[in-house]
Amino acid sequence: AARGHASPSGCAASYGSMAASGASAAAAALVQYVVLRGDLARSWSLGAVLSRMSCLALCFPHGSCRHPAPPCPPPALTANFVSPQAPDEAALMALAETLKQHSIDHEVWTEQPEAIPTCLALRPYPKDQVHQHLKKFKLLK
């Protein structure tokens, strides 16, 4: 599957500098959002849905973004995985544009050869840096 990503310019601080900044443990806790299209979650098999989400969640931190942060958070920081759903393709792509405008690193997973955008993942971020852009989406059920 092909992936697209936001420009790496304007990336947030690396994990190491986040930890060194003196932020509280709660503020330094990392979260990785993987947003799936809800319309596909209702029409595709559970296995197909989980396959797309897990591929993107695992592939994104390991080199897709040219960010100087290490591919996995250091053991001193915690990381959580959150999976909200966008109602449809238009909402998913609008979220991608919003993230791009705010220089938030993300990837859109596009099924090939159908060229269907299926999900979007952010690299792990402190929750307070990205939650405002994702809070309107319901959790995937």
Tokens 């296995």 label which residue? 47
pLDDT at 16: 40
- The total of structural domains in the chain comes to 1
pLDDT of residue 62: 47
Domain membership of residue 110 as a residue range = 30-65+81-139
Asked if the structure places residue 97 within a domain, the reply is yes
Going by C-beta distance under 8 Å and a sequence separation of 6 or more, which residues neighbour residue 45?
none
Residue with tokens 């209702």: 42
Within-domain flag for 71: no
- Assigned domain for 2 exists: no
> What CATH number did the domain enclosing 53 receive?
3.40.1490.10
pLDDT, tens digit (0-9, with 9 covering 90-100), for 65-124: 444 454 454 444 556 888 899 999 999 999 999 999 999 999 898 888 889 898 898 988
pLDDT tens per residue across span 17-26: 444 344 455 5
Is this model's pTM higher than 0.85 or not?
no
Buried b (16+ CB within 10 A) or exposed e, 77-116: beeeebbbbbeeeebbeebbeebbeeebbbbbbeeeeeee
Q: Is residue 21 in a domain?
A: no
Alpha-carbon Rg for the chain in angstroms: 15
- Domain assignment present for residue 128? The answer is yes
Residue 20 lies in a domain: no
User: Could you tell me if residue 76 is inside a domain?
Assistant: no
